[in-house]
Structure 1
Amino acid sequence: MEFKNVKVIKKANVYFDGRVDSRTIIFEDGSRKTLGFMQKGEYEFGTAAPEVMEVLGGEMLIKRAQDSGFIKIKEGESFSVEGDSSFKVVVNDYADYCCSYK
């Protein structure tokens, strides 16, 4: 996949002592995405706006408020998260991802 005519924020967003990082991409229409990488670990993220997370490499286990247990999301799959919520992620090896904000 390739993005054209975008602005990239060079400075990384770094979380969890450097185990998760991402870069923000802003499109001509003002929409944004982040491209990121998660190392092995357990994380909990909060959301302000609804988002869709695509797994580009590796895999993760996720648990949103509406999930009764963890769900495996593999390379090529995606999931949605409601705004003003949170979700848990477990990464056993690594996860390369793209997050789209609505």
Structure 2
Amino acid sequence: MLKVNEYFEGAVKSIALENNEGNATIGVMENGEYEFGTSTIELMTITSGILDVMVPGETSWKSFSKGETFRVEKNVRFKVKANGQVAYYCLYI
């Protein structure tokens, strides 16, 4: 069964799914800056738009665009800045 998630007063929405790759979400972010926490390792692939990311241990933002993937370790907090609407696929491992 699909599960719909909504964060930041509806500015970030995702649909959770389970498939042969594992647990994942497919979502969209409105323009803005957000902070998330992880409980597993996350591999996030941008499918549309540009997302700036600040992961723990880094001192500068890194931009990711369509087709690019970044990794976030488990049990950390990380920041993102959506430059316009951004769509993504996030795989939890």
User: Taking structure 1 as the reference length, what is the TM-score of the superposition?
Assistant: 0.86
Q: Which residue of 1 aligns with 2:8?
A: 16
Instruction: Provide the C-alpha distance between the structure 1 equivalents of 2:29 and 2:49, rounded to a whole number of angstroms.
Output: 9
SS in 1 for 2:83: strand
Aligned amino acid, residue 76 of structure 1: G
State the identity %. 34
Q: 1:28, CA displacement in angstroms?
A: 4.9
Aligned amino acid, residue 19 of structure 2: F
Gaps of 5+ in 1: 1-7
SS in 2 for 1:93: coil
Gaps of 5+ in 2: none
Alignment of 1:1-102 (within 5 A): 8-9=1-2, 11-28=3-20, 31-102=22-93
Instruction: Provide the C-alpha distance between the structure 1 equivalents of 2:83 and 2:42, rounded to a whole number of angstroms.
Output: 23
Aligned residues: CA RMSD: 1.2
Q: Structure 2 vs 1, CA of residues 28 and 91 (structure 1 numbering), >3 Å: closer, same or farther? A: closer
Corresponding pairs, count: 93
Bigger relative contact order, structure 1 or 2 (CA pairs below 8 A, ≥6 apart): 2
- Structure 1 segments, 4+ long, off by >2 Å, are none
Instruction: Provide the C-alpha distance between the structure 2 equivalents of 1:36 and 1:16, rounded to a whole number of angstroms.
Output: 13
SS in 2 for 1:17: helix
